[in-house]
Amino acid sequence: MAKSDVKLLGFWPSSYVNRVQIALNVKSIDYEFVEERFRPKSELLLSSNPVHKKIPVFFHGDKPICESLVIVQYIDEEWTNGPSILPSDPYDRAVARFWVAYVDEKWFPSLGELRSAQGEEAKAALIEKVVEGLALLEEAFVECSKGKAYFGGDSIGYLDIAFGSFLGWLKVVEIVADVKLLDEAKIPGLAQWAVRFSSNDAVKDVLPEPEKLIEFVKIIEARIKAAAK
């Protein structure tokens, strides 16, 4: 299939866009990246995702597909000649989906709260919450990986992509909050997995550097302050 038949509408700092990029790389699929602007939202975005009006939007031919996890699953089902992203075993697939939901609905929101925490007491409480979540994910890694390199086993899978897409922002929080979250002494499996995942060929040119993300946040905050005046 021609590269022009596969397009991704997104914005580089978005972990949800990064998920789709990683999935495409895992499957060795050539695609065109269409950069979405920060504000105002493009007509392409508004017309192709009129419900949520959010990136990413994936185009396969003339068919738009929205929501990062939906797109990742579509890619896995449509391109069967590459490595499988979702586990083939129904139970393993259910377990992976459970932990992906936990990451999206529970763990990542607490990480975001920590980045903007005000006061030492609030910061300490949120650090404890994030660390407790990482301890749970350490257990999930042991269960899902079955002693192999990734949550998905020998190769990057669904939970690797969903959780790993947040590693750049996790490092941002470590820098901004001056805290070590991926502590190899406490969560050795997860800490070593993060290094392997980040250096994988499908990932290393996708995940933004934390310093670049911090600079992006500063620019956005400055724009918001200027607009408020």
Residue 44, domain CATH: 3.40.30.10
User: Can you tell me whether residue 214 is helix, strand or coil?
Assistant: helix
Looking at the structure of the chain, the number of domains it has is 2
Q: Say if 100 falls within a structural domain.
A: yes
For 158-182, b/e burial (b = at least 16 CB within 10 A) is bbbbbbbbbbbbbbbbeeebebebb
Query: Per-residue confidence of the chain (229 residues) as pLDDT tens digits?
Result: 455 699 999 999 999 999 999 999 999 999 999 999 878 899 999 999 999 999 999 999 989 999 999 999 999 999 999 899 999 999 999 999 999 999 999 999 999 998 878 889 989 999 999 999 999 999 999 999 999 999 999 999 999 999 999 999 999 999 988 999 999 999 999 999 999 999 999 999 999 999 999 999 998 888 878 777 7
Give phi and psi for 52, each to the nearest 5.
Answer: -100, -20
Cβ atoms of residues 160 and 19 within 8 Å: no
* Domain residue limits at 159: 90-211
| 203 and 94 within one domain | yes
Q: Say if 229 falls within a structural domain.
A: no
pTM, 2 dp: 0.95
Distance of CA 52 to the CA centre of its chain: 18
Cβ atoms of residues 82 and 26 within 8 Å: yes
Residue 199, domain CATH: 1.20.1050.10
| 100 and 71 within one domain | no
Q: Say if 13 falls within a structural domain.
A: yes
| 94 and 51 within one domain | no
Q: Where are the beta strands (DSSP E) in 50-176?
A: 57-60, 63-66
Give phi and psi for 34, each to the nearest 5.
Answer: -105, 115
Cβ atoms of residues 157 and 86 within 8 Å: yes
3-state SS of 8-77 is EEECCCCHHHHHHHHHHHHCCCCCEEEECCCCCCCHHHHHHCCCCCCCCEEEECCEEEECHHHHHHHHHH
Cβ atoms of residues 80 and 34 within 8 Å: no
